Amino acid sequence: MFEKIVGHETITHHLEKEIVGDEMSHAYLFSGMDGIGKKKTAKEFAKALLCSDNEEKPCGHCPACIQIDHENHPDVKVIGAKTGETSIKISQVREMISDLSVKPYSGNWRIVIIDEAERMTPEAQNSLLKSLEEPLSYNIFILITSHPQSILPTIRSRCQSYHFQPLNSRKIKEILHRDTEFDSQLIDNAVLSSGGSPGMAYYLLENSEIREERVHYLREIYSLLRGNEIKVFSLAETLSKDKTTSQGTLEFLIHWFYQVGLLLDGHPLPDNAKPDQALVAFYKLLENEKNEAIIKTLFEMMATIQYNVNLRLQWEKCFIKIMRIQKG
Ligand SMILES: [Zn+2]
């Protein structure tokens, strides 16, 4: 049923069981980093319910499947922040809710996918909460988010949660070799800097300057770990330009130090991948406990930047802490 989804087997297995047994929840929360396959899974889920093929659901080529792919199926609503807007407004949620009381147009189900659900304003979230509290039998909500902590606990508690883990590099390579024409070397490099997200790897392939930027950050952080204090400030300055870059870089760094941790623990890298030179350099520089403390610091930074903080100051604090950890 979810053959198109690479990885996330535990999740798709559960979802398939629910669909086959007709035991779906009224609301789901799909969390996990950007570009990892959450929305794709949500769409496959919708297709499995609405596909008009009698034998294989989803077939991928009936009108319903095609409409869902193109996000113009009448019973699959996809809402997100409008172009040029940073938040999902209460007016969008109200409009969506007013459509929900009408029975589905083509079948038994209506699926509402809220993309980047953390962008809903508190008012929008409260307005959605009412629909979740009194669900109509044919409506299924799927909230997609990379920051579940920004969703009201009252909403989260009404959703069945699935957390999407980063994919291992072999799986990402599989996707990229299948879907793109890039050569192996470029794909390997992009995967290494992708933080386990196929969407990010793809983005890096398309945007070589960001790929180079990440290699640059690694060099700078390596230098910082070796005691080059000035890097604290230059890195903080570059990284504080905007929140999105900060988040993406943080996810990448967390994944990076996680891989260093695998080496330090004596574990092979996922799929016995050969560690690249940069990774080995970090491995030689760090000790296990320190590496773990660095990862913890990066996670704290991740939590901090959810709020309206002075990014530059927070990055400085973060890097100073990392430098102190390394100094011991
Ligand atoms: Zn179909």
Tens-place pLDDT, residues 60-97: 999 999 999 999 999 999 999 888 778 899 999 999 99
Domains present along the chain, CATH in parentheses: 9-163 (3.40.50.300), 207-327 (1.20.272)
Residue 239, pLDDT score: 92
Q: What is the pLDDT of residues 205-264, one digit of tens each?
A: 988 888 888 889 999 999 999 999 999 999 999 999 888 788 888 888 988 898 888 888
Helices (H), ranges, the chain: 9-20, 38-50, 63-69, 90-100, 122-133, 153-156, 169-179, 184-192, 198-206, 208-225, 230-239, 243-264, 277-285, 288-304, 311-327
| Cα of 42 from ligand 1 centre, angstroms | 15
Of residues 143 and 53, the one with the higher pLDDT is 143
| Cα of 109 from ligand 1 centre, angstroms | 15
| Cα of 35 from ligand 1 centre, angstroms | 24
Residue 86, pLDDT score: 80
| Cα of 239 from ligand 1 centre, angstroms | 44
Rg of the chain (C-alpha set): 21
| Cα of 63 from ligand 1 centre, angstroms | 7
Question: Residues 284-293: contacts with CB within 8 Å, 24+ apart?
Answer: 285/222, 285/225, 285/226, 285/326, 286/225, 286/260, 286/326, 288/261, 288/264, 290/325, 290/326, 290/328, 291/257, 291/260, 291/261, 291/264, 292/261, 293/325
| Cα of 40 from ligand 1 centre, angstroms | 15
| Cα of 54 from ligand 1 centre, angstroms | 9
Residue 274, pLDDT score: 66
Q: Cis omega (within 30 of 0) on the bond before 58?
A: yes
| Cα of 74 from ligand 1 centre, angstroms | 15
Q: What mean pLDDT do residues 267-287 have? A: 78
| Cα of 39 from ligand 1 centre, angstroms | 18
| Cα of 114 from ligand 1 centre, angstroms | 22
| Cα of 64 from ligand 1 centre, angstroms | 6
| Cα of 320 from ligand 1 centre, angstroms | 54
Residue 71, pLDDT score: 94
CA separation for the pair 303, 321 (Å, rounded): 16
| Cα of 70 from ligand 1 centre, angstroms | 13
Give percent above pLDDT 70 in the chain. 98
CA separation for the pair 91, 10 (Å, rounded): 36
Q: Per-residue DSSP letters for 18-86?
A: HHHTT---SEEEEESSTTSSHHHHHHHHHHHHH---SSSSS-S-SHHHHHHHTT--TTEEEE-PPTT-S
CA separation for the pair 31, 110 (Å, rounded): 21
What residues contact 192, with CB distance under 8 A and at least 6 apart? 169, 276, 279
| Cα of 72 from ligand 1 centre, angstroms | 14
